[in-house]
């Protein structure tokens, strides 16, 4: 399995500001993913981030709102831009373990926008 | 598009008893993966068990086992000898296979979850 860490673990932000969430993996992985879990809801994929290429966004998510960086095979960032209270969610980083084809999740970043 | 349905928003079980969580899915694909994830109050998503669709044998992991009925598109999770630490939200999830997607779509589609309470 892969060990995934995220920073920050939680934050409270003012509307109109931006927050960058970091995801670090203990091994090199090709594919990383960012999910959002709104309060009391299931997980929804925001985008897939592959090293060396532009992130691929799911329907309803755009790069201007959720820019993603993937500078190497162990690290990625997700920025939540121009935040509003509707962005209050848990944001989770996820990776695929190549051999097992199993997806593992980080501990999540709990974001509250006031 | 694939959909995953968990029809039980909440379930409860007595400690040491057995409980079964239901999951059904809709897909036109023949090769795919199914997962059960556990999310305790700490919010960490923990993989409980996974099943490859091409395998007829049901997956087991210690006290956790699945009943995979491919024709019925059903994938239930059985927890035996329930423990207090099993209390959590349980999510069923679907993913297409690497071969089907050409390596381009590893999206997990989740159900809405079942909140499991374990009573002492």
Which chain B residue is nearest to residue A94, measuring alpha carbons?
B45
| DSSP character string of chain A | ---EEEE-SEEEE-TT--EEEEEEESS--SEEEEEEE-TT--EEEEEEEETTS--EEPTT--TTTS-EEEEETTEEEEEE-S--GGG-EEEEEEEEETTTTEEEE---EEEEE-
Instruction: Give the minimum alpha-carbon distance from A77 to chain B in angstroms, rounded to a whole number.
Output: 19
Which residues on B lie below 8 Å from A48 (Cβ)?
A: 106-107
Q: What is the number of residues in chain A?
A: 114
- Predicted confidence pLDDT, tens digits, chain A (114 residues): 788 999 999 999 999 999 999 999 999 988 899 999 998 889 999 999 987 778 889 999 999 999 999 999 999 999 999 999 999 999 999 998 766 678 899 999 999 999
Q: Is A61 on the interface with B (CB under 8 A)?
A: no
Distance, in Å, from the CA atom of A62 to the CA atom of A76, rounded to the nearest integer, reads 17
pLDDT tens sequence across B53-97: 988 899 999 999 999 999 999 999 999 999 999 999 999 999 987
Of A41, A44, A105, the CB nearest to B45: A105
């Amino acid at each position: 399995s892969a060990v995934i860490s995220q920073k920050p673990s939680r934050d409270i932000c003012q509307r109109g500001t931006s927050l960058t969430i970091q995801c670090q993996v203990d091994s090199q992985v090709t594919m990383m993913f960012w999910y959002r879990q709104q309060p009391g809801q299931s997980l929804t994929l925001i985008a897939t981030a592959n090293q060396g290429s532009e992130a691929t966004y799911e329907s309803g998510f755009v790069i201007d709102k959720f820019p993603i960086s993937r500078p190497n095979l162990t690290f990625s960032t997700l920025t939540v831009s121009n935040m509003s209270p509707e962005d209050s969610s848990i944001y989770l980083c996820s990776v695929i373990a190549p051999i097992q084809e199993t997806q593992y999740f980080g501990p999540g970043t709990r974001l509250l926008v006031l | 598009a694939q959909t995953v349905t968990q029809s039980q928003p909440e379930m409860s079980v007595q400690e040491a008893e057995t409980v079964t969580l239901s999951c059904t899915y809709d897909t036109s694909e023949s090769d795919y993966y199914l997962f059960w994830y556990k999310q305790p109050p700490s919010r960490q998503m923990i993989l409980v068990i996974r099943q490859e669709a091409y395998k007829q044998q049901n997956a087991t992991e210690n006290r956790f086992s699945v009943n995979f009925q491919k024709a019925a598109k059903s994938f239930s999770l059985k927890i035996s000898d329930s423990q207090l630490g099993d209390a959590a939200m349980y999510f069923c999830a679907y993913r297409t296979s690497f071969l089907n997607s050409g390596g381009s779509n590893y999206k997990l589609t989740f159900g809405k979850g079942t909140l499991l309470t374990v009573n002492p």
